[in-house]
Structure 1
Amino acid sequence: RDTEPSAAIIDSQSVRAAETVALDSRGWDAGKKVNGRKRHIAVDTLGLLLVVLVTTASVQDRDGARPLISRLRRLHHRITMIWADGGYAGKLVTWAQERWSLNLDIVKRTDDSDHYVGDAPGLGI
């Protein structure tokens, strides 16, 4: 394998913040019912961390993905393909293609919540 990745997987995780964490750096993730922060991450196809962006938990996945993808593209020029779950669908796909010439492939979940439809290796980070 080339040492520089050509594909990535993006996802996010909301985590509870301690009471000592300043209120202006926390937010409410209504879907997960979490008051805290959100980690937006990009990994390569082996699961190795490429980029991390930390926001308030109230930031939607699509909104956090724009700065995440921008940083990813600036740091890893060879990346041309990104896989993501349905939370990233919509205008972000077009933006990634037009702005960065990236193919953002939305991998759909099947009825069996442990399986995805598509070619994404190891999605489910």
Structure 2
Amino acid sequence: MTDAEWARVADLFEVTGRGKPPAYPRRLLVDACCYVVRTGCAWRMMLPADFPPWQNVYRTFRRWVAQGRFEAMHDRLRA
């Protein structure tokens, strides 16, 4: 994701709140989710070393999909 694209959608993913601070930057998790979706690889296959472990990416992806964040991201980027 480019810096310009991230600037348009960062507020969807950079939600602050109570609880434990995130272990990985949100942009890195979004990039990892997009990588898996774009390449079509299985979740358990090894992600490139610069991404978080697949378990963290998968758990985050499922939560964000249920919250509709990726649909909102695509709507913003498409507009």
Alignment TM class, shorter chain as reference:
under 0.3
Bigger Rg over Cα = 1
Relative contact order: is structure 1 or structure 2 higher (C-alpha 8 Å, sep ≥ 6)? 2
TM-score by length of 2: 0.25
The structure carrying a bigger strand percent of its residues is 1
The structure carrying a bigger helix percent of its residues is 2
